[in-house]
Amino acid sequence: MSAKQDNDALSWAGDDDPTLVAGDAAEATEVSATSVASAPGELPEGWTRAGSTTRSAGSSAADAGTTHIATQQPGDAAEVVPPSSVALVGMGVLGGIYLLYTVGWFIGTSRVGNPIVDPVGQFMFSLGAWLAVVAPLVWFAAVYWLTNDRPRIRVLWLLIGVVLLAPLPFIFGVGTL
């Protein structure tokens, strides 16, 4: 077998095209083009130094003392750090528990007979049963939304909800409550 046939498996048609630029070279060209557009010490429009505050026109970029550059999006107050893989898996497990709790409440409340004869009482009983069914989903969504910037508090409240919202009619059976 020749060396050319061995290398054919590692190449793509058109790799030898002289007009193509490798990925690193394209990024370097793009970065150098944006850095040439602005004066030395200034950042391109729409960029800001992380942790910097509003400076007067006479202060220079060297006075800021920071080297990290971040993009500035309209309406963003601070940089958002993405959650780690462990946090994402943990949130998935807790979300699955809450989904199972919803199914458990549905099964458990469907087994409970409604002994009330009064129409208002029957309505209130069925409303309470449906609220018990959706409570785990509402708890999970509310905790996730209200603790968006505090991941430790989020985990704490989700664990509290796992204890408080356990579907007892499903776990212990209908007759024990």
Cβ neighbours of residue 165 under 8 Å, at least 6 residues apart?
98, 101, 135, 136, 139
Q: What is the DSSP code (8-state) at residue 70?
A: E
137 — pLDDT class (breaks 50, 70, 90): very high
Antiparallel, parallel or unpaired: β 47-49 and 69-71:
antiparallel
Residue 44 confidence (pLDDT): 75
Residue 65 confidence (pLDDT): 47
Query: What's the CA gap between 1 and 167, in Å, rounded?
Result: 67
Residue 95 confidence (pLDDT): 92
How far, rounded to the nearest angstrom, does the alpha carbon of residue 77 sit from its chain's CA centroid?
17
Whether the predicted model's global pTM rises above the 0.75 cut = no
Residue 162 confidence (pLDDT): 93
